Amino acid sequence: MARRARDYVELSTHRKLHGSISAIALGAARSGMVEFAPFVTGCPMSLKLSFLARRGRGFALSLLAPALLALAAFAPAAVEAAPVVKGPEHGTLIIAGGGNLGPEILGRFIELAGGKDAEIVVIPTAGGEAKYGPDCDCLGIFRKLGATHLTILHTTDRQEADSEAFVAPLKRAKAVWFVGGRQWHLVDSYLGTRTETEIHNLLARGGVAGGTSAGASIQASYMVRGAKAGNEVLMAPGYEQGFGLITGAGVDQHVTARHREGDLDALVTKHPDLLGIGIDQSTAIEVKRDSFKVLGVGHVFIHDGQEQPNGGHYYLLGAGDGFNLTTLTGTAKR
């Protein structure tokens, strides 16, 4: 199964003419005489209008108007730019849709980090608590899989998040994980600080960044469901910028469990330069620079703005399926 993304056509001759209609009309009125012979691909048309300046500007435009309207009818709608989606230049992302994550997801994260003894930083800030201790469940999920070198990094103070002392663990780490909760907490604490910079630097060293639920959406350049008022709001002014670990995309989570199957249609309609990626619970995508593959037991929903044969505007990828971020093409597992 292969799924083509949008077909983007080159500008044709008749589109150029359509874009020049106002200029043609103005020139006709000023000069008093027009030589007008457009040839529209697939629809030949030869029109020649001659008139004298003494007949007047209004007369010239009245003769020209039907031809211009005919051209407008054949001209295509403006062509929108395709999303340009990119994973990290170096390193890997694990973007999970919430719920219980199996070893095929968390174990893969540990493997990418360098194994059970790798230094892993866990950021639980999205959970909204004032403090997190060594007994935090956010560490337990990794300890169950044998991880031994875990560090909690948490603050609600942007000044602290921007300090060298705070980011020191990130400079040593091979991996960072964002726990679920509400993604606006992550924005308020870390966006634009040294903490965010060191997360990008970790990837540049070939490390891995992962997260689930809110920790999935924060990884995209466009962050969905960032409203403080509630996660029912898909696009929240003031809380739309994520960390941009994957750019040109917005990532939603808990899709089937919370009946969000079609929600990202609104995002790609308003922002056609974005690809919408919805991820089920117990499911993740492993993202490299120009591709990702699906891990887990659920589905990934691709919203590319194209109507599907069933009338919907998204299609599904399952475990083992891949997706090319350059061509915006999904490929089923063989």
Mean pLDDT of 210-225: 98
Domain assignment present for 244 = yes
Residue 9 above 60 pLDDT?
no
Whether residue 241 sits in one domain with residue 138: yes
Domain assignment present for 306 = yes
Domain assignment present for 314 = yes
Residues 6+ apart with CB under 8 A from 205: 90, 91, 174
Higher pLDDT, 74 or 185: 185
Structure confidence at residue 65 (pLDDT): 53
Structure confidence at residue 310 (pLDDT): 77
Domain assignment present for 270 = yes
**Percent of the chain predicted with pLDDT > 90:** 72
Whether residue 222 sits in one domain with residue 136: yes
Domain assignment present for 139 = yes
Structure confidence at residue 60 (pLDDT): 44
Report the domain count for the chain. 2
- CATH of residue 185: 3.40.50.880
Structure confidence at residue 80 (pLDDT): 64
The boundaries of the domain holding residue 56 are 2-74
Structure confidence at residue 40 (pLDDT): 33
Whether residue 98 sits in one domain with residue 68: no
Q: 198-207 pLDDT, tens per residue?
A: 999 999 999 9
Q: What is the mean pLDDT of the chain?
A: 83
Structure confidence at residue 312 (pLDDT): 84
- The beta-strand segments (E) located in 174-331 are 175-178, 208-212, 220-222, 246-253, 275-279, 283-287, 291-296, 300-303, 315-317, 322-324, 329-331
Whether residue 131 sits in one domain with residue 17: no
**Dist. CA 160–CA 101, nearest whole Å:** 31
What is the CA 298 to chain-centroid distance, rounded?
20
**Dist. CA 11–CA 78, nearest whole Å:** 9
Whether residue 142 sits in one domain with residue 70: no
Whether residue 303 sits in one domain with residue 252: yes
Q: What is the DSSP secondary structure assignment for residue 208, as one 8-state letter?
A: E
Whether residue 232 sits in one domain with residue 269: yes
Q: What band does 166 get if pLDDT is binned at 50, 70 and 90?
A: very high
Structure confidence at residue 4 (pLDDT): 35
Whether residue 124 sits in one domain with residue 45: no
Domain assignment present for 214 = yes
Residues 6+ apart with CB under 8 A from 150: 120, 122, 139, 142, 143
- Domain boundary (39, 74, 109) is at 74
Domain assignment present for 79 = no
**Percent of the chain predicted with pLDDT > 70:** 76
Q: 284-317 pLDDT, tens per residue?
A: 999 999 999 999 999 999 999 999 887 889 999 9
Whether residue 313 sits in one domain with residue 251: yes
Q: The tokens 């199964």 sit on which residue?
A: 1
Q: 77-121 pLDDT, tens per residue?
A: 455 678 999 999 999 999 999 999 999 999 999 999 999 999 999
Q: What band does 224 get if pLDDT is binned at 50, 70 and 90?
A: very high
Whether residue 232 sits in one domain with residue 203: yes
Whether residue 301 sits in one domain with residue 185: yes
| Cβ atoms of 324 and 274 closer than 8 Å | no
Domain assignment present for 60 = yes
Whether residue 261 sits in one domain with residue 173: yes
